[in-house]
Amino acid sequence: MSGFFIDWDGNLRHVDDPGGGYTCDVDTAARYVAVMKGSTLAHESTLYKTLDAVAKAGIKATLVPGSHPWGSQRDGF
């Protein structure tokens, strides 16, 4: 499955490489991404199938690699 989602910091991430030890469960029909840490739901987001879909939604977010950290020190990470 390919596609993109917005993380809790407003970054754009690829569902195949969310980073941080997370995995993505994707429901294509519902356009839903469940970001999981093991069996725990850590984050929910909308699925955007392409970068064009992100732009058409009016979202201006930076695409970050999986190596980019989730959260910050102010968030307790």
- Asked whether residue 74 is assigned to any structural domain, the reply reads no
Per-residue HEC secondary structure of 10-36 comes to CCEEECCCCCCCCEEEEECCCCEEEEE
- Asked whether residue 17 is assigned to any structural domain, the reply reads yes
pTM (2 decimals)?
Answer: 0.90
Say how many domains are in the chain. 1
- Asked whether residue 38 is assigned to any structural domain, the reply reads yes
- Asked whether residue 66 is assigned to any structural domain, the reply reads no
Greater confidence (28 vs 72) lies with 28
Residue ranges making up the domain that contains 24: 1-55
Q: What is the pLDDT of residues 40-69, one digit of tens each?
A: 999 999 999 999 999 999 999 999 999 999
- Asked whether residue 22 is assigned to any structural domain, the reply reads yes
C-alpha separations of 73 from 9, 19, 69, 70, 76 in Å? 12, 17, 11, 10, 5
- Asked whether residue 18 is assigned to any structural domain, the reply reads yes
C-alpha separations of 65 from 14, 29, 30, 40, 62 in Å? 8, 25, 25, 22, 10
